[in-house]
């Protein structure tokens, strides 16, 4: 006859209190607010709890402390799509480093039933890092109404919300000046996908980069309204870049240079160009924005604008942790530098009728 199996009962704080010779309140303090007890008492209670195999209930603990010890990153797309862009693993590496040193966990919060707005109330986090959402969107307004601490990244943040951005405008200007300086006349700009369909309505990083491209064109007496300047929007993905190339290459006079607002899109353009027998950079120059690790390894290596992605994630997390510790802290707005990296995907257009600037 087999041995009878008995379910192991969960250890309670009453048992720990009895074993330690203290009150149940003291046990609660030892795990939730140890500053209320002497260090020796905390060590004594926790040692007994460990010997008995006690595990604090995270839900009960959060109800007591009103803290989950978790940071949330509010994502604009589902997790699979988001993580397919190498930008986000780099960004999350910076966030994760801070979570590790602060003793906190990290929750990725994608749209729920297609809505970021619906996802917010279901996320058990102490605060959010909000990536790429516009200030007039409902998600940001809901966070403000619920008094949830948050830090905005790649967005136009109001003065009372801490934010992290890079100098998108200067970086985009440098990219456009580079292709114009090489002698390119027919240029296409591949914008980040946005629910706003008119470039005059762009906001955040998208607006700043677009303004930078306009600045670069203006420096050469050009305008985005010139017939040889094309503007299209594509999904921020490798497939989006492939789609952009196919659309542009079907034109009667395709561009000799494509300037993309993201590396992942630019890499898709590069992939499609090679598949269609288009030589890069001889027939088509390509410029990205980000400096993902793959950009340098591409064939040819991608000319791009470097932004400090991991540092951006680290600073955003540090600012959020600081805001959680001090609700009255003055919000800080960081703008990190960008840098143009010229590699093998750009050169002067190889054409007998190439236009040169006086």
Give the CA-trace dihedral at 346, 347, 352, 354, to 10 degrees: 80
- So what's the pLDDT on residue 96? 95
**What is the C-alpha separation between 202 and 191, in angstroms, rounded?**
10
Kindly state the average pLDDT of the residues 249-256: 92
Q: Which two tokens stand for residue 294?
A: 């793959």
| DSSP string over 242-257 | HHHHHHHHTSSS--SE
**What is the C-alpha separation between 149 and 172, in angstroms, rounded?**
31
Q: Is residue 298 part of a domain?
A: yes
Residue 51, domain extent: 13-60
**What is the C-alpha separation between 132 and 151, in angstroms, rounded?**
11
Long-range contacts of 56-61 (CB under 8 A, 24+ apart): 56/31, 61/31, 61/32
Q: Is residue 158 part of a domain?
A: yes
Q: Which two tokens stand for residue 98?
A: 């801070």
What domain count does the chain have? 3
Query: Do 236 and 176 belong together in one domain?
Result: yes
Q: Is residue 353 part of a domain?
A: no
- pLDDT grade, residue 338 (50/70/90)? very high
Do 152 and 322 contact (CB within 8 A), yes or no?
A: no
Percentage of the chain beyond pLDDT 90 is 55
Q: Domain holding 100: CATH number?
A: 3.40.50.2300
Do 89 and 292 contact (CB within 8 A), yes or no?
A: no
- pLDDT grade, residue 144 (50/70/90)? confident
DSSP-based three-state secondary structure for 19: helix
Q: Which has more confidence, 192 or 59? A: 192
Query: Do 187 and 296 belong together in one domain?
Result: yes
Q: Does residue 35 carry a pLDDT above 90?
A: no
Taking alpha carbons only, the member of 328, 336, 325, 331 closest to residue 71 is: 325
């Amino acid at each position: 006859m087999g041995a009878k199996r008995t379910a192991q009962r969960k250890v309670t704080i009453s048992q720990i209190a009895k074993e330690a010779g203290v009150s149940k309140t003291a046990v609660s303090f030892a795990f939730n607010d140890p500053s209320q007890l002497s260090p020796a008492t905390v060590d004594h209670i926790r040692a007994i709890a460990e010997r008995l195999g006690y595990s604090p209930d995270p839900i009960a603990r959060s109800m007591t402390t009103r803290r989950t010890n978790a940071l949330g990153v509010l994502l604009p797309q589902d997790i699979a799509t988001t993580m397919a862009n190498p930008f986000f693993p780099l960004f999350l590496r910076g966030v994760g480093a801070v979570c590790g040193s602060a003793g906190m966990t990290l929750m990725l919060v994608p749209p729920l039933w297609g809505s970021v707005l619906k996802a917010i109330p279901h996320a058990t986090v102490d605060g959010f890092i909000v990536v790429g959402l516009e200030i007039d969107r409902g998600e940001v307004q809901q966070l403000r109404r619920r008094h949830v601490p948050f830090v905005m990244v790649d967005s136009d943040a109001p003065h009372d919300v801490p934010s992290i951005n890079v100098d998108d405008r200067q970086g985009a200007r440098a990219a456009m000046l580079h292709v114009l300086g090489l002698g390119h006349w027919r240029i296409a700009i591949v914008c980040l996908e946005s629910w706003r369909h008119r470039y005059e309505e762009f906001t955040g990083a998208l607006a700043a980069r677009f303004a930078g491209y306009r600045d670069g064109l203006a420096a050469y007496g050009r305008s985005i309204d010139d017939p040889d300047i094309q503007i299209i929007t594509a999904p921020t993905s490798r497939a989006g870049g492939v789609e952009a190339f196919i659309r542009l290459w079907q034109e009667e006079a395709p561009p000799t240079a494509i300037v993309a607002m993201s590396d992942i899109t630019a890499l898709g353009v590069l992939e499609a160009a090679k598949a269609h027998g288009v030589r890069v950079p001889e027939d088509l120059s390509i410029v990205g924005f980000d400096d993902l690790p793959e950009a340098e390894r591409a064939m040819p290596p991608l000319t791009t604008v470097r932004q400090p992605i991991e540092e951006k994630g680290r600073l955003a997390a540090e600012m959020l942790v600081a805001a959680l510790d001090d609700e009255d802290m003055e919000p800080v707005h960081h703008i990190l530098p960008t840098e143009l990296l010229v590699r093998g995907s750009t050169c002067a257009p190889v054409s007998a009728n190439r236009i040169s600037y006086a």
